[in-house]
C-alpha cells in the first residue's frame, strides 16, 4: 500500500532497519523523590538489558546534547522555561507564587537537576527528529522522552517539558504531515492540545477514559477549525486485553495511514498500559504492546519511538527492550541474561510476563461502536491536506567535519554522528522584538505578557500566513556517539524498588 510521504520501500517485519538510539548515561541519576512513582532509573535498567541482549551493536548509539533554552521555547512560554531553569530545591521558598502558577510541586516536584533532566530527554527527541529528517536512520528511539502531559505554560502529570511537541515541530520542517500515536494508558492531552486546530498533525490516543487522569480524551473531541477530525480519541475501560486492543488499533491505524498519509510517525510507547502497572488498569502483555510498534513499523514510514509512562519499572524495562528488538527486526530470547539488575526480574527471570485474569470491561458492542465511530470520522477526510506556506523553513544544515579532529576520530563511529546541526526556529513575520536576557527576566510576570509572542505551534493555526526563518546562530545543538556503548551504568538507586 502506498502510504505517501517519505515512505521506505515495502519490506517484511524481519527486514533490518537502520536505528538511531538516544541514551544519556546520567539520565538514571535523576530522582523525583521518595515514594514518587516516576523513576528515571527505569531507563538505566532498559539500557542494561539492551546491552546484555547484544542489541546496542545493531544500532547507532547516540548521546543527545541537551536542548537549549531557545529550543524549549519553540513551544513553551519563555517565562515558564526561565522558571524551570532557575528553580532548585534550595530556592523553592522564593518561588511559592510561581510554583502554583506553573503547577510545580506535587505530581511534578522540584528535584536536583530538574532543568538538566528536561534538557536531556527533550534533546533526545529533537535529535531523533533531526536524524529522521536527514534520512540518517529509518527509526529513532528515545525511551527517556514521551512526556506527553506538559503544556505550554505549566507542568502536568510528571511532565515538565513536552519533548513530543518539540520533536513534531522539528519533523514539520521536512514533512507536510506528521502523525502522532499514543498508547500510554493516559490521554496524550498536551500533544493533542498543541495541535488541536491544525491539519498538519493528526493525533491518535488510545487511553483509559472516565474517572482517570487527566480526564480528557472523549471520543467526541475531534479537533477544531482546520484541525476538525484530525484528533482521534479512543476511550477504553479497565482490563482491556491484547485481542480487544488490537481489534481497534489495527483497523483504525490502517485507515489513518491510508487517509492522512503522513511523512513521519511519532509513536509514544507509554508502558503504563501493560498488565500489572503500578498506576495502570489495563491487561496488555509486552507482546501485545509491542504489536503496536510492529504494526506501525510495517508501513515503512520514518518512525520516532518514545517512552512515556510506566511505573512497574521491571516491566517497563522488559517492554522497551523487546520493542527495541522489534524496531531492529530482531526477536530476543525470553530468558533475561545475567546482568547487574537481574534481581529485578525474579523469580522467573523472563522477558515476558503473563497477563492477569482481571475482568475486561470493554464489551464487544462497545468496541464495535468505537471502531465504527472513528472510521466514520476518518471517512470525512477525503484527501490528505496540503500546506500553503509562502516560504518553507530551510533544511537543517550539516557543517563539514572539523579536519583537526580526524586524528582522534573513533573508527566505530558513523561519519554522520558527530556533525553539528542547527535547530532553526520558525516564527511569524510580525514577531520582531528580540527576546530579553533570560537572567534579567522576572519570572513572576503576568502569563499574558509571555503569550503575546507567537511560537511555532501558533504559526500552524493559519498555514497561509507568511513565515519568517530566523537565521541560524553559531551555537548549535548536536548529537554525539556514546564513546563506549558497552559500558554499564555504575550507580544504583539508594534502595532497590521492585515496582
C-alpha grid cell for residue 489? 551504568
Radius of gyration of the CA atoms of the chain, in A: 22
Q: Evaluate whether 5 touches 258 at the Cβ level (below 8 Å).
A: no
Q: Evaluate whether 285 touches 356 at the Cβ level (below 8 Å).
A: no
184 known member of a binding site? yes
Task: Indicate which residue of 52, 149, 175, 187 is catalytic.
Answer: 149
Cβ atoms within 10 Å of 375's Cβ, excluding its own: 15
C-alpha grid cell for residue 420? 553539528
334 known member of a binding site? no
Cβ atoms within 10 Å of 218's Cβ, excluding its own: 11
Distance separating alpha carbons of residues 53 and 335, to the nearest angstrom: 10
Told to judge if 149 belongs to the known catalytic residues of this protein, a careful annotator would answer: yes
437 known member of a binding site? no
Contacts of 196 (CB under 8 A, 6+ apart): 223, 224, 227, 231
Distance separating alpha carbons of residues 413 and 483, to the nearest angstrom: 9
406 known member of a binding site? no
Buried b / exposed e over 348-363, threshold 16 CB at 10 Å, is eeebebebeeeebebe
C-alpha grid cell for residue 353? 510476563
Q: In whole angstroms, how far apart are CA 137 and each of 25, 315, 402?
A: 22, 27, 23
Phi, psi dihedrals of residue 432, rounded to the nearest 5°: -105, -35
311 known member of a binding site? yes
- Point out the annotated binding site for substrate: 107, 157, 311
Residues classed as catalytic = 149
Q: Which residues are annotated as a binding site?
A: 107, 157, 184, 186, 272, 311
Instruction: Specify binding-site residues for a divalent metal cation.
Output: 184, 186, 272
Amino acid at each position: 500500500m502506498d502510504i505517501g510521504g517519505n515512505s521506505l520501500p515495502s519490506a517484511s517485519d524481519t527486514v533490518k532497519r537502520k536505528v538511531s538510539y538516544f541514551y544519556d548515561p546520567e539520565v538514571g541519576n535523576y530522582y523525583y523523590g521518595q515514594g514518587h512513582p516516576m523513576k528515571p532509573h527505569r531507563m538505566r535498567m532498559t539500557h542494561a538489558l539492551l546491552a546484555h541482549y547484544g542489541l546496542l551493536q545493531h544500532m547507532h548509539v547516540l548521546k543527545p546534547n541537551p536542548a537549549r533554552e531557545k529550543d524549549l521555547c519553540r513551544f513553551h512560554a519563555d517565562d515558564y522555561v526561565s522558571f524551570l531553569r532557575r528553580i532548585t530545591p534550595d530556592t523553592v521558598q522564593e518561588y511559592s507564587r510561581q510554583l502554583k502558577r506553573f503547577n510545580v510541586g506535587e505530581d511534578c516536584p522540584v528535584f536536583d537537576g530538574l532543568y538538566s533532566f528536561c534538557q536531556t530527554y527533550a534533546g533526545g527527541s529533537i535529535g531523533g527528529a533531526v536524524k529522521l529528517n536527514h534520512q540518517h536512520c529509518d527509526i529513532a528511539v528515545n525511551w527517556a522522552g514521551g512526556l506527553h502531559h506538559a503544556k505550554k505554560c505549566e507542568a502536568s502529570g510528571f511532565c515538565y517539558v513536552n519533548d513530543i511537541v518539540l520533536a513534531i515541530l522539528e519533523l514539520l520542517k521536512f514533512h507536510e504531515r506528521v502523525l502522532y500515536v499514543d498508547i500510554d494508558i493516559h490521554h496524550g492531552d498536551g500533544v493533542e492540545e498543541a495541535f488541536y486546530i491544525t491539519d498538519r498533525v493528526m493525533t491518535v490516543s488510545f487511553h483509559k477514559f472516565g474517572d482517570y487522569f487527566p480526564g480528557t480524551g472523549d471520543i467526541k473531541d475531534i479537533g477544531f477549525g482546520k484541525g476538525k477530525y484530525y484528533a482521534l480519541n479512543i476511550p477504553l475501560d479497565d482490563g482491556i486485553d491484547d485481542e480487544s486492543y488490537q481489534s481497534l488499533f489495527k483497523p483504525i491505524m490502517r485507515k489513518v495511514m491510508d487517509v492522512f498519509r503522513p511523512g513521519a510517525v511519532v509513536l509514544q510507547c507509554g508502558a503504563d498500559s501493560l498488565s500489572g502497572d503500578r498506576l495502570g488498569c489495563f491487561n496488555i502483555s509486552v507482546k501485545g504492546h509491542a504489536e503496536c510498534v510492529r504494526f506501525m513499523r510495517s508501513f515503512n514510514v520514518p518512525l520516532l519511538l518514545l517512552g512515556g509512562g510506566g511505573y512497574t519499572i521491571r516491566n517497563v524495562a522488559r517492554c522497551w527492550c523487546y520493542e527495541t528488538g522489534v524496531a531492529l527486526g530482531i526477536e530476543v530470547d525470553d530468558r533475561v541474561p545475567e546482568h547487574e539488575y537481574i534481581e529485578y526480574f525474579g523469580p522467573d527471570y523472563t522477558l515476558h510476563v503473563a497477563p492477569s485474569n482481571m475482568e475486561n470491561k470493554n464489551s464487544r458492542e462497545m468496541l464495535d461502536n468505537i471502531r465504527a465511530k472513528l472510521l466514520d470520522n476518518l471517512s470525512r477526510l477525503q484527501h490528505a491536506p496540503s500546506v500553503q506556506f509562502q516560504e518553507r523553513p530551510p533544511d537543517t544544515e550539516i557543517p563539514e567535519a572539523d579536519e583537526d579532529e580526524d586524528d582522534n576520530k573513533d573508527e566505530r563511529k558513523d561519519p554522520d554522528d558527530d556533525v553539528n546541526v542547527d535547530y532553526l526556529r520558525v516564527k511569524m513575520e510580525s514577531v520582531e522584538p528580540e527576546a530579553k536576557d533570560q537572567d534579567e527576566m522576572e519570572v513572576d510576570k503576568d502569563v499574558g505578557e509571555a503569550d503575546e509572542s507567537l511560537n511555532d505551534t501558533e504559526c500552524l493555526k493559519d498555514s497561509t500566513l507568511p513565515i519568517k526563518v530566523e537565521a541560524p546562530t553559531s551555537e548549535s545543538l548536536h548529537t554525539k556517539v556514546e564513546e563506549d556503548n558497552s559500558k554499564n551504568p555504575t550507580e544504583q538507586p539508594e534502595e532497590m524498588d521492585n515496582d
